[in-house]
Amino acid sequence: MPHFDLTPPTADQRAALEAGLSADERRVLLQHGTEAPFCGVFLDNKREGTYCCRLCGLPLFCSSAKFDSGTGWPSFFAPYDASHIRRIRDTSHGMIRVEEVCARCGSHLGHVFPDGPPPTFERHCLNSVALSFVGEGEALPDPLRRGGAEAGPA
């Protein structure tokens, strides 16, 4: 598996990336919001490819790990690379959950639950607006202009 630079964006890079976000993307990625169920653009996406962080472009999940959880959000049973996701205990809204954020830029992605299918039995339940999608064989996004693995095909 290719190596990706997990160094956080500089303050200037982050400001430039955040300037390109829509209001919905800003609410979810930066303010830990949640999009409404059954409306996300990637819920029914069946194309082969890679789901990346909408803010910094880090690959997060492969289409081969996507499954229909029936919950209304895109769901995956395993990340692209475990080091690309950071898990944080979330006690908001009177619940105890595990929030998932991008390991590189810290953007809120969704939550992970222990009720997924084999082999991991995990359900990574994500917000579509937190993601971008790159079709198989297409170049991965490289908004931080780091080159290397970021510049290669998915």
User: Is it the case that residue 154 has pLDDT exceeding 80?
Assistant: no
C-alpha gyration radius of the chain: 15
pLDDT at 21: 96
Confidence tier at 115 by pLDDT (50, 70, 90): very high
| Count of residues making up the chain | 154
Tokens found for residue 84? 């690309």
**Contacts with 113 (C-beta within 8 Å, 6 or more apart), sequence order:** 97, 98, 122, 123, 125
Q: What confidence tens digit (pLDDT) does each residue in 26-80 have?
A: 999 999 999 999 999 999 999 999 999 999 999 999 999 999 999 999 999 999 9
pLDDT digits (tens, 9 = 90+) for 68-98: 999 999 999 999 999 999 999 988 778 788 9
Pairing of strands 131-135, 108-113: unpaired
Active site residues: 125
- Do residues 140 and 126 lie in contact, with contact meaning Cβ atoms separated by under 8 Å? no
N-to-C CA span, the chain: 11
93 contact partners, CB below 8 Å, separation of at least 6: none
Task: Give the helix/strand (H/E) hosting 85.
Answer: strand 85-90
- What one-character DSSP code corresponds to residue 63? G
Confidence (pTM): 0.93
